[in-house]
Amino acid sequence: MSTPSTATITVPPHQFGHIPSMGDYSRPYPPAADQRTINSHAQYAHNPSYTVSQAPRQTNSQSAQYYDTSSNPRLAQASSSQKRARDPVDWVQFYGGKPPKEVIVIDDTPPAEEHAMGAGVSLEGHYEKRRKTGAADYNGTLSNTQTPSAAYDQYGRYTGSTDRTTYQSTAPTSLGSTSSGGLYNEDASAGQKRKRVARQPPAPAAAPRRVAEEEKDPYAAYIPPPNPPLKAKDVHVAVIADRSATRDQKVDDEDGHYMVVEHADLTERYSIIKLLGQGTFGKVVRAFDRRTKKEVAIKIIRSVQKYRDASRIELRVLSTLASNDRSNRNKCIHLRDAFDFRNHICIVTDLLGQSVFDFLKLNNFVPFPSSHIQQFARQLFTSVAFLHDLNLIHTDLKPENILLVNNNYQTFTYNRNIPSSSTATNRSAKFRKVLLEPEIRLIDFGSATFDDEYHSSVVSTRHYRAPEIILNLGWSFPCDIWSIGCILVEFFTGDALFQTHDNLEHLAMMESVVDSPIDKTLVRSVTSGRGSNKNSAAAFFKRNTLAYPQEDTPRSSKKFVKAMKKLHEIIPSHNAFNKQFLDLLRRIFIYDPKKRITAKEALRHPWFREHFEDDGTEAEKIRAQRERQAQQDSYARSLGRT
C-alpha cells in the first residue's frame, strides 16, 4: 500500500464548464450471459433485480491484512487516538473553569519528512514497452515527484488545451477551483516534536449519510424528477444595450465569433478575464460577475442565426434541468444567467475544473484507477438516468463533456504496462497522477434532444457513436448508453476505444471488440429497403454479413481492425471487481438498442457494490486527512485572532 507524501498539486482548471421511439427502455435484465448469446437472441428472460450480498466484497486480500490494527500496534494506537479526538471534551471543566494561556502538545510520532518538489513525471515511449493486462492489480506507492508535465503561465495556471475539441466542441468550457498550496501543506518540519496550540478543535463532521447510501446502492439514492417532469418553455433572453464608448468598433471576426479582449466588459455586470476555448458554436470565456463577486464561465454564441437558434434550444434544456433538480443532485451543469449582447447570445454557468479528457492528456493518457472509474460511472449513469426520465437524450457524451469539480491530484508510482484495446499498442508508465476527489459535472447540452421532438440523422462524436446511428436505424435513449460504455473503456486504457473515421471500419471494429457479428435482425432492417426507401448503410453488407474488408480497403485499416482485442481481453477478469465491470460492459455493447441496458438498470448492477483498494482509494484518504488538517489549522488561526 502506498505511503502518503506531504506534497500536493492543484491542477489548474481548463475546461467549462422525428424518429419514432426505439421501444421500452425501462426493462429489468437477467444475469450475465455469453456475449454471442446476448447479441443473437431477440429476448431476455426478465429478472426484476440482482441478488447481491449487502456487504461490499473485498477483492484485494492484501488490503484487509494491511488495515488489521491488531497486527500493527502503531495503527492501533493511531486508531485509538482518532477515537479520542472524535469524543467531545469539556475543556473549560478540564482546566478548572479557566482555560490555560497555552498548551504544549507532544506528538506521539514525528511527522513525515517533507518531500521536495521533483522535476517532472516520467513516461516511457508510447511504442517501446510491452503491454500487461493486469493493470488493475494494486501495487503502487506515492511519489515525491509532483511537477506536471505541462506548460504554465506566470500565475501557475495550466495553459494546455484540448486538441480534440478545438474545432468541433459546442460545450461551454470551464475553468475553476483554487490552489491547495496553502491549504494542505504540513506546518511541521521533519523531526519536530512539539508545537503550540490554543485548544483542540472539534473533529470534522462525519460524511453525510447520503454519500454512504449512494456508494452502497446508487439506484436507491437516485431521485427521479417529478412525474410528469417539468418541461421548460422558451427562455426569455434579455437584450442588453451596449453602453460602452467604443460600441461602434468591430466586435466580430469574419466567421461571426466574438473578438475576446481580456479585462474588457461584457455588459456592465461581467468582466472578461481570459479566453478558455473555442468551438463551432462560439467561444467560452472566464469572467468576473460584479454582482455576485464570483468568477463564472460564459459561452458566447456566434452571431450567426442558425447558431443563435440552436442556443435557444440549449437554454430550454438547461432550464428544464434546473427546474427539475434545484439542488443538482444529478450533477448536470446549471444555467445561471443568459443575455443577448452585441448580437451574441451569452450563456452563463458555474466555473468548473478541466475536462476529464484534459486531465487524461495532462496525465500522458495513463488510465484512471479502477475505483475512480467506478465512481465516474456511478455519476454518469445517475446524470443520464435523470436526463432520460426528463425525456431528454444528450447525444454527445464524451470525456471532453465531463468536467471535474476539483483538479487536485497526488502522484503515485505506477511502474507497469498500460492496458490497451489493441495488440499494436504497447505503453508503460512510471508514475500516475490520481485525483483526490473524482467528482464530475455533465456539460454541453447544445445537441440534447427531447425524444418526442425532431431528431437529426447523425449525432454523437464519431468515437462514441452507437451502431444504430451508423446504420441509419434511428436513435433514442440507448445511444447515450453506448457512449458511456466507450467512455468507461477509455478510462480503463487511457485511449479511445474506436479510433476511426470510416463507417465500415467502425462497424468492423465493433464486431472485433464485441466478438459477435451484428444481429441479423438489424441487418435485415438495413437491407430491406428498396428504391427511394433504400438505406445507404445497406452497402456495408453482403448476404446479411458485414462486407469488410472490401477490395479498396487500405492495408493499414485491415491491420488496425485485426489488432483490436476482444472485450474480455481488454478487461481481464482476474478478480471479482473486473468480472462485474466486464459484465456491465457486455450489457452496454449490445447492437440492438432495444436490448441494451438502461441507465437505471445499470445503477442496479452488482459492480457498484464491489469495493477495490487502489491508488484512487488511497488518494481519497489523503484528501480526507488534509481536509481535517486544514480545518484544524483554520480553527487554530481563528483562536489566535481572538
**Radius of gyration, CA atoms only, the chain:** 27
Determine the distance from the C-alpha atom of residue 215 to the mean position of all C-alpha atoms in its chain, rounded to a whole number: 16
What per-residue string of b and e applies to 141-170 under the rule 16 or more CB within 10 Å gives b?
ebbebbebebeeeeeebbebbbebbeeebb
Query: Residues 6 or more apart from 325 whose CB is under 8 A from it?
Result: 225, 332, 386
299 among the known binding-site residues?
Answer: yes
Q: Provide the pairing of β-strand 427-435 with 408-418.
A: antiparallel
CB 312 within 8 A of CB 237: yes
CB 470 within 8 A of CB 507: yes
Helix or strand holding residue 603 (H, E): helix 599-603
d(CA 599, CA 219): 10
d(CA 16, CA 554): 39
CB 200 within 8 A of CB 42: no
Q: Which three cell numbers stand for residue 157?
A: 495556471
Query: Residues 6 or more apart from 29 whose CB is under 8 A from it?
Result: 44, 46, 47, 587, 597, 601
Among 410, 544, 408, 468, CA closest to 20: 468
Q: Exposed, middle or buried, 57 (CB in 10 Å: 0-12/13-18/19+)?
A: middle
Q: Is 396 a catalytic residue?
A: yes
> DSSP strand E in 202-254: where?
238-240
* 2, 243, 295, 345, 372 from 269: Cα distances, Å: 48, 12, 12, 15, 39
Angle between helices 503-514 and 555-563 (to 10 degrees): 20
Which of 396, 451, 495, 583 is an active site residue?
396
Q: CA torsion 545→549→553→559, rounded to 10°?
A: 140
* 263, 417, 527, 602 from 60: Cα distances, Å: 53, 20, 50, 24
Residues noted as catalytic:
396
Which residues contribute to the annotated binding site for ATP? 299
Which residues contribute to the annotated binding site? 299
